[in-house]
Chain A
Amino acid sequence: GEDVEQSLFLSVREGDSSVINCTYTDSSSTYLYWYKQEPGAGLQLLTYIFSNMDMKQDQRLTVLLNKKDKHLSLRIADTQTGDSAIYFCAEIRSSNTGKLIFGQGTTLQVKP
């Protein structure tokens, strides 16, 4: 099965908060990442969190990390239609190579 698991789809109304969840398996991962993929565009790094942190906030984005449960979440406050995209959780599997292992992605649909 997948090493990094995400729910496939989330639909919210504009102005609401969105929460995208992810579970990972490698407890030795030093960093965990959220990437965004818009239609017809390459993946773009949104934010990341170091494994010794519980939370990281960056403007409308809040990342929560529960190492005990190997659970990562991304909260987007005041979700806008421009936030509609696929969001990928990723863990760094090897600090020697920077190799990232991605989840299957969560499609976020924002309705006006």
Chain B
Amino acid sequence: GAGVSQTPSNKVTEKGKYVELRCDPISGHTALYWYRQSLGQGPEFLIYFQGTGAADDSGLPNDRFFAVRPEGSVSTLKIQRTERGDSAVYLCASSLGQQTGELFFGEGSRLTVL
């Protein structure tokens, strides 16, 4: 595809449920990032993958959050036992290399936890 694709674009779930958010990066981009953006705030770093491995997961807020990228392309962000405070737009971005800072963002997945 031409850009970073994220699915679903909108997800409404109930408190306590499990959620998966998917990111399909630009082909050939080895670096992949997940960010979370709350209303009126800037994107907040969650996790960074270089290839298949999570090179920096320092932004994950707690152990309910987990992300994988098993084949070095598509990534899935998994949230267990969702809480109302998890409601936000989850952004995925990819880049050619980890040092450029030029990230290509998807349009995000809006998660609402009721």
Interface size, A (range): 20 to 34
- Asked whether any CB of chain B lies closer than 8 Å to the CB of A96, the reply is yes
Number of B residues whose C-beta is below 8 Å from A? Answer: 30
Q: How far is the CA of A44 from the CA of B107 in the complex (A)?
A: 10
| Contact across chains for B107 and A98 when beta carbons are under 8 A apart | no
- Indicate if the CB atoms of A95 and B56 lie closer than 8 Å: no
State which of A41, A100, A103 has its C-beta within 8 Å of the C-beta of B103.
Answer: A100
Contact in complex: B41, A98 (CB < 8 Å): no
Choice from B45, B55, B97, B107 contacting A100 with Cβ under 8 Å = B45
Chain B positions within 8 Å of A27 at CB level: none
A residues bordering B, Cβ < 8 Å?
Answer: 4, 8, 31, 33, 40-45, 48, 88, 90, 92, 94-105
Chain B residues with a Cβ under 8 A of chain A:
3-4, 31, 33, 35, 40-45, 48, 50, 55-56, 91, 93, 95, 97-108
